[in-house]
């Protein structure tokens, strides 16, 4: 009897220890810490948050390969998520009870390997109207003489959200014509910076007059800097943010991971997202019924939103990044 009671006690202690391990979340948003803290306050579950920008975060995940150190993965771009699902790195087939709107349902993968959380747009133009009397309204107009050496963008090999912009141009124009357009931009003095923040500083300091950046970053920066105008040329690529659980997650950790996903997609989680980084990432379009966007986001209405096939473009990302590095960056 004593031996049986001791066994039960040891089992209970083992379970408590397993449940006490912090949930490891890899995320790439300005609001991710606010969300993690709100989740811990709500559930008591500790979170070990690894925050990096999207490109370095994806590189870390790739380097870890079949020995992942994360439980939950959360970043912009369903292309990388789709590629990871194809490699059997994500837990598939589960989702909480959610009321997605039409946009959310359109972005929801049939295999439920990852779940859409929000929507921004890649390739938004942020224009310094104090220096330009007429803002460009199309992608072709970035080649006008007045903009020689005055257009900047991020490097898609470093800035994960930039790849959908590049892919959108290549899809819309065709591979040959799209690549030729980027090479023309290079010849026209295109400046390529690592990430949104560096590109926006170049705009702020007058090194460029037009910045090609993610819509959330453009909206936040335009609120702080006078004389800036946001332009959405047709087409502009949709950029969903997605969250996923690792295929290796089991037992109590799996339950904790599912609770985190449920929280992110709950009104409380969405509220933490919208309050956590109003100067940038909070400026996203919610995908759940009953969740309104921030007022500045509600005014951003693209005429031609372009949806990219994550399966097709996820498989091409490495090759496109290499081409960009060889033919545009250098």
Q: Assign residue 160 the CATH number of its domain.
A: 3.40.190.10
Do 180 and 205 belong to one domain? yes
Do 111 and 137 belong to one domain? no
Predicted confidence (pLDDT) at residue 50 exceeds the cutoff of 70:
yes
Do 265 and 312 belong to one domain? no
Q: What angle do CA 320, 300, 101 make, to 5 degrees?
A: 85
Do 233 and 249 belong to one domain? no
In a domain, 299, yes or no: no
Do 49 and 84 belong to one domain? yes
Tally of structural domains, the chain: 2
Task: Over range 284-312, report the average pLDDT.
Answer: 93
Nearest to 66 by CA among 45, 80, 87, 40: 87
Q: Which two tokens stand for residue 44?
A: 């008591």
Q: Are 160 and 313 in contact (CB under 8 A)?
A: no
Domain that holds residue 31: 2-118+241-292
Question: Helical H runs in 126-195?
Answer: 162-173, 175-187
- 231-276: per-residue pLDDT in tens? 999 899 999 999 999 999 999 999 999 999 999 999 999 999 999 9
At residue 161 the predicted structure's pLDDT band, cuts being 50, 70 and 90, is confident
Q: Are 276 and 35 in contact (CB under 8 A)?
A: yes
Nearest to 159 by CA among 281, 53, 242, 85: 53
**Burial category of 38 from C-beta neighbours within 10 Å (exposed 0-12, middle 13-18, buried 19 and up):** buried
In a domain, 10, yes or no: yes
Do 43 and 69 belong to one domain? yes
Do 101 and 186 belong to one domain? no
Do 325 and 253 belong to one domain? no
* pLDDT more than 90, % of the chain: 85
Of the two residues 133 and 44, the one the predictor is more confident about is 44
Task: Over range 62-76, report the average pLDDT.
Answer: 96
Start-to-end Cα distance in the chain: 75
In a domain, 297, yes or no: no
In a domain, 96, yes or no: yes
Which pTM does this prediction carry? 0.90
Do 31 and 64 belong to one domain? yes
Do 284 and 214 belong to one domain? no
Do 92 and 215 belong to one domain? no
Do 193 and 251 belong to one domain? no
In a domain, 309, yes or no: yes
- 105-143: per-residue pLDDT in tens? 999 999 999 999 999 999 899 999 999 988 899 999 999
What is the per-residue pLDDT for 17? 39
**Helix axes of 78-86 and 310-324: crossing angle, nearest 10 degrees:** 110
């Amino acid at each position: 009897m004593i031996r049986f009671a001791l066994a039960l006690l040891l089992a209970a202690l083992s379970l408590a220890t397993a449940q006490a391990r912090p949930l490891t979340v890899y995320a790439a948003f300005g609001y991710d810490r606010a969300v993690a803290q709100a989740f811990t306050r709500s559930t008591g579950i500790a979170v070990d948050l690894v925050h990096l920008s999207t490109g370095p975060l994806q590189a870390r995940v790739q380097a870890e390969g079949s020995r992942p150190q994360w439980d939950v993965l959360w970043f912009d771009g369903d292309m990388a998520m789709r590629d990871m699902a194809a490699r059997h790195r994500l837990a598939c087939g589960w989702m909480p009870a959610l009321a997605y709107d039409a946009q959310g349902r359109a972005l929801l993968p049939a295999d439920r390997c990852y779940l859409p959380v929000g929507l921004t747009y890649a390739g938004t133009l942020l224009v310094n109207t104090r220096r330009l009397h007429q803002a460009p309204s199309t992608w072709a107009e970035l080649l006008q003489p007045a903009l020689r050496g005055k257009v900047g963008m991020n490097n898609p090999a470093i800035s994960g959200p930039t790849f959908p912009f590049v892919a959108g141009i290549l899809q819309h124009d065709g591979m040959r014509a799209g690549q030729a357009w980027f090479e023309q931009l290079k010849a026209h003095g295109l400046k390529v910076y690592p990430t949104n923040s560096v590109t926006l500083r170049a705009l702020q300091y007058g090194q460029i007059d037009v910045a090609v950046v993610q819509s959330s970053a453009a909206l936040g920066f335009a609120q702080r800097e006078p004389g800036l105008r946001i332009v959405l040329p047709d087409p502009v690529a949709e950029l969903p943010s997605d969250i996923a659980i690792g295929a290796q997650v089991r037992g109590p950790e799996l339950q904790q991971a599912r609770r985190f996903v449920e929280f992110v997609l709950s009104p409380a989680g969405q509220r933490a997202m919208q309050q956590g980084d109003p100067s940038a990432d909070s400026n996203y379009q919610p995908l759940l019924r009953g969740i309104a966007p921030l007022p500045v986001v509600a005014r951003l209405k693209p005429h031609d939103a372009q949806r990219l096939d994550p399966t097709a473009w996820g498989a091409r990302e490495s090759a496109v990044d290499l081409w960009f590095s060889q033919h545009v960056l250098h």
